[in-house]
Amino acid sequence: MTNPVVVETRGKALWITLNRPEKRNAINEEVIGLVREAIVASSNDPELRAIVITGAGDQAFCAGADLGKSVQGGAFDIDYSNPRHYIVQLFKAMEECSLPILARVNGHALAGGFGILCACDMAIAADDVRFGTPETKIGVAPMMILGHMLRVLPRRKLLELCITGELITAGDALDMGVVNYVVPRGDLDSKTEWLLDRITGKSPTAIRLFKQGFHAMQDMSLPESLEYAQLMISMMASTQDAKEGKLAFGNKRAPTWTGK
């Protein structure tokens, strides 16, 4: 039986591949559970510097929930005595992850797949893919992924996307800030490696503390964020990586990061 999620380490990055190309990499409880497990486990590997999430094949990054009649762990299944939806648990794990998470968008990113994309820290897409939230076409709306979409898309474009259910191009997604880069399909891997090189060579301590601060400050008022920032900066400056960075800069050499 084919593993629905492939997890492998490539250099300093953990690659998580949704491996259901025959289902357009659709997600269910099992798939999301495996992705979440890999993300949570990444914190135990001090050699890792980034995570890449992508899909198998070139048709879909993820087409959203598996809506098949016999699917186990469907998108709308929930235990009312313990209403913790698996996609929410994944989003919480991604929010708490100390490593930068990069989406390699190899194909269409729709519905829940679009939500996973928005939950990533950065994204690179092939220029022929499409994005969207077509849920209104089947009588529901993209509520589960709305929290992250609200933080990524411009308000009016988000409303149009969710209400009409129409898809947008990779160029549109770039203009809206949904993705960082759009490249020809043949350049997707090289551009992904290009960005990974610029991530993995930086201080893991600085990145970890920045992500913590970013997620904490995004919902603070400006006065609250300023108070938080002035406490965090002194903490960051006291780390081993910060001391090594300043020493390396003064000696005009490349720093050796310890992640501490």
Secondary structure (DSSP) of 180-196: SEEE-GGGHHHHHHHHH
Q: Strand pairing of 108-110 and 130-132?
A: parallel
- Widest Cα–Cα separation across the chain: 64
Which residues in the chain come in under a pLDDT of 50?
A: none
Instruction: State the pLDDT at residue 68.
Output: 67
**Which position has the token pair 């299944």?**
77
| Burial of 2 from C-beta contacts in 10 A (0-12 / 13-18 / 19+) | exposed
DSSP type of residue 16: E
DSSP type of residue 120: S
Listed by start position, the domains of the chain span 5-200, 204-251
The dihedral sign for the CA sequence 160, 109, 53, 145: positive
Q: Which two tokens stand for residue 82?
A: 């313990």
Instruction: State the pLDDT at residue 71.
Output: 55
Contact criterion met (CB below 8 Å) for 144 and 112? yes
A 10 A CB-CB count for 135 gives 21
Give the closest residue to 128 by CA, choosing from 171, 158, 93, 88. Answer: 171
The dihedral sign for the CA sequence 105, 133, 145, 181: positive
pLDDT digit string (tens) for 18-47? 999 999 999 999 999 999 999 999 988 999
Q: Tell me the CB-side half-sphere exposure of residue 96, using CA atoms within 13 A.
A: 13
Instruction: State the pLDDT at residue 141.
Output: 92
Instruction: State the pLDDT at residue 66.
Output: 86
Contact criterion met (CB below 8 Å) for 13 and 49? yes
Cα 5 to chain center, whole Å?
A: 16
Distance CA 201, CA 248 (A): 14
Contacts of 127 (CB under 8 A, 6+ apart): 170, 171, 182, 183, 184, 185
Distance CA 234, CA 140 (A): 47
Architecture of domain 5-200: Alpha-Beta Complex (3.90)
